[in-house]
Structure 1
Amino acid sequence: MDTRLLRTLQVLARTGSFTATATELHVVQSTVTTHIKLLERHLGARLFDRLPSGAKPTEAGERVLAAAQEVLAAEQRLLDTVQGTPAVAGDVRLGAPESMCAYRLPTIIADLALRWPGVTVHLTPVGTRRALDAVHDGGLDLALVLEDDPPSTTLDATPVGSERIDLVAAPNHPDTGRYFLLEEGCSYTDRFARDLADAHPTRFGSIEAARSCVVAGLGLSVLPRVSVADQLADGTLRCVAELPESTLFLVTDPRRTASAAVRVACQALKALSD
């Protein structure tokens, strides 16, 4: 089987768009369509549902994705054997909390690109549960998760740093009141919410939304220090309380042999603890 078809499958599953897949693979859109049709014909199953919101893998497609990762990893190992040394090039699919994507990882990824121009990191904001599922199922190569303890999973979770967490409010807002927290699945906000008596916090899917409400004086929020550092410095927010730090874990799947690109990405992510 032509492994180009499997690479097209992987990118389309990640982007959900035939146009975006064609752009990333530097081919025309009709080539993407042809690759998927050829793969579906060869395997005798429909791999994607074509929906108004984009292409979504079917159940068969999800199963093929996991197997495709193994095939492509084997191909890379074969190339490494022929070349004598690992070829440090390829894609790395990394999932991480929004705060890491916005404030910590851009510099790390930029430095990685300078050192290894052939490595491309595809960064996806994702919560802990989805990150663990995606690494286990082969949708992500690596994930960073913020947790109090190592996730209970068959995956490997290595601590690579920690994040300071603050309860913040506007300068003149009282120390209690309405709370604007991140959506469920965020460990430090879930921990804080459990300690709230009768309060019913408003949940947001983004740090920016929660922070904006707090800056406007509408209530309080629990956010990583890195995401509110500028506001604390200029006085538009104040720290009501410092909460326990959350540990940052690097999650990998021990069942899979990491490519050279994934290995150098792991090494770069260890810089988060510096």
Structure 2
Amino acid sequence: MDSRLLRTLLVLARTGSFTATAAELHLVQSTVTSQVKALERTLGARLFDRLPSGARLTEAGRRAVEHAREVLVAEQRLRDAVRGSTEVEGDVRIGAPESVCAYRLPQRIADVALRWPGITVHMSPVGTRAAIAGVRSGALDLALVLEEAVTAPGLKVNAIGVEPIELVTAPGVPVEERYFLLEEGCSYTDRFVRDLTATPNITRFGSIEAVRSCVMAGLGWSVLPRVAVAEQLDAGTLQRVRELPDSTLFLVTDPRRTPSAAVRTVADALA
């Protein structure tokens, strides 16, 4: 079986978009469509439902994705064994909170790319539940989650750091009139809301940038990682109300799967 078809399958399963898949693989969209159809003919099953919102895996597609990863990892091991190669290369899929994707991962990934240019890292901003589910299903090779504690039976969970959390507002904003917080599923904002003694007026966004902009405009208060507001605190456009309990950063992997050399390399770099 042509491994190019399997790679296209995995990218389309992750992006859910023929256009995005074509861009990532440096193909024209018609080639992606042809490759998916060729794979469906070979396997004798429909792998994707083509919907207005994008391509969605069928049940057969989900099973194909799981085994396709195993085939590609085995192919890479065979290639390395035959060549006697020590080169580390391949795709690594990481799920992490938006703040970690935006502020913590880029420099680590840049360091990896400089030393091992054959590694391609794909980052997806996801919450804890989706991150753990992604590792369990094989959709993600690695996950980083910010929590007080993580319970994930069958998975390996290692604490690798802490993320300081701040309650912030713009100078002169009245006390606790409105909160602008990240969407539910963000561990540190959910914990903050649980600890409030009164029912707050909350507006939620899916973007740290949107939350921070609202607070800087003087519209209310927010709870954000220190790394996301450090520049604004130094400039005085935001002020610290108080520090909140730190969140622990955990690295989650699946010990049932044999990681590729690329996955091991990136995991070591993160840890």
Identify the TM-score tier after normalising by the shorter chain. Answer: over 0.9
**Partner AA of 1:204 in structure 2:** F
Q: How many residues are matched?
A: 270
Q: Report whether the alignment pairs 1:16 with 2:16.
A: yes
Match of 1:183 in 2: 183
What are the superposed Cα offsets for residues 88-113 of structure 1, whole Å, 9 maximum, x if unpaired? 01111111111111111111111111
CA separation in 2, counterparts of 1:238 and 1:25? Answer: 44
Q: Report whether the alignment pairs 1:193 with 2:199.
A: no
Is the deviation greater in 239-248 or in 7-16? 7-16
Q: Which structure 2 segments of 5+ residues have no match? A: none
CA separation in 2, counterparts of 1:45 and 1:78? Answer: 28
Aligned-residue RMSD, C-alpha? 1.6
What are the superposed Cα offsets for residues 133-191 of structure 1, whole Å, 9 maximum, x if unpaired? 11111111111110111233321111111100001111112342211111111111111
Runs of 4+ residues over 4 Å off in structure 1 = none
Match of 1:59 in 2: 59
Change (3 A) 1:73 1:246: same
Secondary structure at the aligned position of 1:222 is classed as strand
CA separation in 2, counterparts of 1:104 and 1:167? Answer: 20
Is the deviation greater in 11-20 or in 90-99? 11-20
Q: 1:42 Cα deviation (Å)?
A: 2.1
**Partner AA of 1:43 in structure 2:** L
Q: Which structure 1 segments of 5+ residues have no match? A: none
Q: Is the CA contact (8 Å cut-off) linking 1:175 and 1:240 kept in structure 2? A: no
**Partner AA of 2:141 in structure 1:** D
CA separation in 1, counterparts of 2:217 and 2:19? Answer: 39
Match of 1:207 in 2: 208
CA separation in 2, counterparts of 1:25 and 1:210? Answer: 33
Q: Report whether the alignment pairs 1:96 with 2:96.
A: yes
Q: Is the CA contact (8 Å cut-off) linking 1:162 and 1:248 kept in structure 2? A: yes
Match of 2:150 in 1: 150
Q: 1:26 Cα deviation (Å)?
A: 3.3
Q: 1:228 Cα deviation (Å)?
A: 0.5
Q: Is the CA contact (8 Å cut-off) linking 1:165 and 1:224 kept in structure 2? A: yes
CA separation in 1, counterparts of 2:127 and 2:151? Answer: 12
Q: Is the CA contact (8 Å cut-off) linking 1:97 and 1:125 kept in structure 2? A: yes
Secondary structure at the aligned position of 1:242 is classed as strand
Secondary structure at the aligned position of 1:246 is classed as strand
User: Identity over aligned residues, as a percent?
Assistant: 69
CA separation in 1, counterparts of 2:88 and 2:40? Answer: 31
CA separation in 2, counterparts of 1:49 and 1:252? Answer: 29
**Partner AA of 2:181 in structure 1:** L
CA separation in 1, counterparts of 2:226 and 2:64? Answer: 41
Q: Is the CA contact (8 Å cut-off) linking 2:132 and 2:152 kept in structure 1? A: no
Is the deviation greater in 197-206 or in 234-243? 197-206
Q: Is the CA contact (8 Å cut-off) linking 2:177 and 2:201 kept in structure 1? A: no
Match of 1:259 in 2: 260
Is the deviation greater in 222-231 or in 74-83? 74-83
Match of 2:246 in 1: 245
Match of 1:76 in 2: 76
Match of 2:115 in 1: 115
CA separation in 1, counterparts of 2:35 and 2:202? Answer: 47
Q: Is the CA contact (8 Å cut-off) linking 1:127 and 1:186 kept in structure 2? A: yes
Q: 1:84 Cα deviation (Å)?
A: 3.2
CA separation in 2, counterparts of 1:152 and 1:177? Answer: 37
Is the deviation greater in 133-142 or in 21-30? 21-30
Change (3 A) 1:132 1:108: same
CA separation in 1, counterparts of 2:79 and 2:226? Answer: 44
CA separation in 2, counterparts of 1:83 and 1:157? Answer: 34
When normalised by structure 2's length, the TM-score is 0.94
**Partner AA of 1:51 in structure 2:** L
CA separation in 1, counterparts of 2:122 and 2:74? Answer: 21
CA separation in 2, counterparts of 1:128 and 1:86? Answer: 34
Q: Report whether the alignment pairs 1:47 with 2:51.
A: no
